[in-house]
Amino acid sequence: MRGDVLGRMNIAGELRDALRSDGLHVAYQPIVDLATGRIVALEALARWTNEAGEPMAPDVFIPVAEETGLIVALDGWVLDSAVAQVAAWRALRPAPAPLCVHVNVSPITFRTPGFADAVLACLERHDVHAADVLLEITETQMMGEDPPTLQAMEALHTAGIGVAIDDFGTGCSSLGYVRRKFVDVIKIDRSLITGLDSDPDQRRIAAALLAVVDAFGLTAVAEGVQTEAEVAALRQLGCRYGQGYLWGEARPAAELAVFRPEVV
Ligand code: C2E
Ligand code: CA
Ligand code: CA
């Protein structure tokens, strides 16, 4: 237990230094149209290699960042990097097909006073349109009908910035946000997608969630798609978009073929 606490304190200290010295980077994973295979968006994911040169998993450092409050700076840094990257892609000639970049925002960051204004200021600073960015907020830690979260969602929605509920189907508190129409995209958690083609119960749950998405006129993205059989099952159920290792892991911007000038 003591070692665990010390380990987390170490992570927090190193992460604080990494944030000060630009020691993190962002990798981008494609989100594709299941009918055509065309990339329609990219999800920005934080990547960090610690002082010992070991890559640290977000599942390890994001919870530490949330416990220590560092998450607000981390989310802000990832947002700024991703928006700067969008501006750089937009400046390419010939211009690549328009893509939306999804940025993860912790529920803790989302409810911070001034968050929506900071997002708008970031877009203005880089001269990027609201439609080019979408914010993903995780369902599991979302506080049910939290007034500061609702206010931020409304302000972002009014400004034309899309909001997605991430890991949908793992928590139980986000239907209120869906009902209030401040949400545009639902990302169906990987745990509900794996084995969808062979497990009838899994299929029933996915069908029910997709019916909710449809009833509210939202867009669904299936997470963690790894097989063509899952793609076929998702298409049968009417899910339009997917993301997963089937189309590739997250990669640094420079390695994304879609944005190399010679292929656009
Ligand atoms: P997430 O937002 O649900 O992101 C998707 C995660 O699933 C990523 O893990 C991605 O690499 C992984 N993944 C994608 N396709 C597949 C697949 O087919 N199979 C499997 N097994 N995994 C797949 P990653 O990058 O390790 O991130 C883990 C979580 O950390 C993210 O889950 C997100 O909740 C959080 N995270 C990452 N970057 C940020 C950030 O900048 N801010 C915040 N607040 N959270 C972040
Ligand atoms: Ca996400
Ligand atoms: Ca997710």
pLDDT tens, position by position, 4-31: 887 888 999 999 999 999 899 999 999 9
Indicate whether 172 belongs to any domain. Answer: yes
| Lining residues, ligand 1, CB within 6 Å | 29, 45-46, 57-59, 62, 71, 75, 78, 104-106, 136, 138, 166-167, 190, 223-224, 226, 244-245, 249-250
> What is the reported pLDDT for 261?
46
Which pLDDT does position 57 carry in this prediction? Answer: 97
260 pLDDT more than 60: no
192 domain-assigned: yes
- Whether the pLDDT of residue 106 is over 70: the answer is yes
Q: CA-to-CA distance for 116 and 151, rounded, in angstroms? A: 9
| Assigned domain for 261 exists | no
Backbone angles phi, psi at 111, to 5 degrees: -95, 5
pLDDT in tens, 151-176: 999 999 999 999 999 999 887 667 77
Domain annotation covers residue 62: yes
Taking only the tens place, the pLDDT of each residue in 107-123 is 999 999 999 999 999 99
Nearest residue by C-alpha to atom 4 in ligand 1: 45
Tell me whether residue 211 is in a domain: yes
pLDDT at 264: 35
pLDDT of 138 reads 84
Angstrom CA distances, 87 to 45, 81, 132, 188, stand at 18, 10, 10, 29
- The answer to whether residues 206 and 188 touch, using CB atoms and an 8 Å cutoff, is yes
Residue type, 264: V
Q: How many domains does the chain have?
A: 1
C-alpha of residue 140 to centroid of ligand 1, in Å: 14
The CATH code of the domain that includes 92 is 3.20.20.450
For residue 1, what pLDDT is reported?
Answer: 55
Protein residue whose Cα sits closest to atom 37 of ligand 1: 45
Q: Whose CA is nearest to atom 7 of ligand 1?
A: 224
Q: Which of 59, 70, 68, 63 is nearest to 18 (CA)?
A: 70
Quote the domain boundaries for residue 140: 2-256
Task: Give strand ranges (E) for the chain.
Answer: 24-33, 39-49, 55-56, 100-105, 133-138, 162-168, 185-188, 219-222, 241-242, 251-252
- CA distances for 52 relative to 3, 10, 11, 193, angstroms: 18, 12, 11, 36
CA dist 245 and 206 (Å) reads 19
Which of 60, 61, 62, 193 to mutate for ligand 1's pocket (most ligand atoms within 8 Å of CB)?
Answer: 62
Q: What is the pLDDT of residue 135?
A: 98
- Does 264 map to a domain? no
pLDDT score recorded for residue 141: 62
- For residue range 210-259, list pLDDT tens digits in order: 999 999 999 999 999 999 999 999 999 999 999 999 999 999 999 987 66
pLDDT, tens digit (0-9, with 9 covering 90-100), for 219-233: 999 999 999 999 999
Average pLDDT, the chain: 91
Residue among 29, 45, 74, 249 whose CB has most ligand 1 atoms within 8 A, to mutate? 45
In the reported structure, the alpha carbon of residue 201 is separated from the centroid of ligand 3 by a whole-number distance in angstroms of: 21
The residues facing 133 across adjacent strands are 101
Q: Is residue 262 part of a domain?
A: no
Q: Give me the pLDDT at residue 172, please.
A: 66
Model pLDDT for residues 131-158, shown as the tens digit of each residue: 999 999 987 666 677 889 989 999 999 9
Q: What is the reported pLDDT for 263?
A: 40
256: Cβ–Cβ under 8 A, 6 or more apart, which residues? 28, 42
Tell me the pLDDT tens digit for each residue of 58-77: 999 999 999 999 999 999 99
Give rounded-to-5 percent helix, strand, coil for the chain.
45, 20, 35
Amino acid code (one letter) for 44: A
Q: What is the reported pTM?
A: 0.95
The residue whose CA is least distant from atom 46 of ligand 1 is: 104
Expressed in angstroms and rounded, the spacing between residue 104 Cα and the centre of ligand 2 is 5
Evaluate whether residue 29 is within a structural domain.
Answer: yes
Alpha helices in 127-174 (DSSP H): 147-158
Question: Over pLDDT 70: what percentage of the chain?
Answer: 93
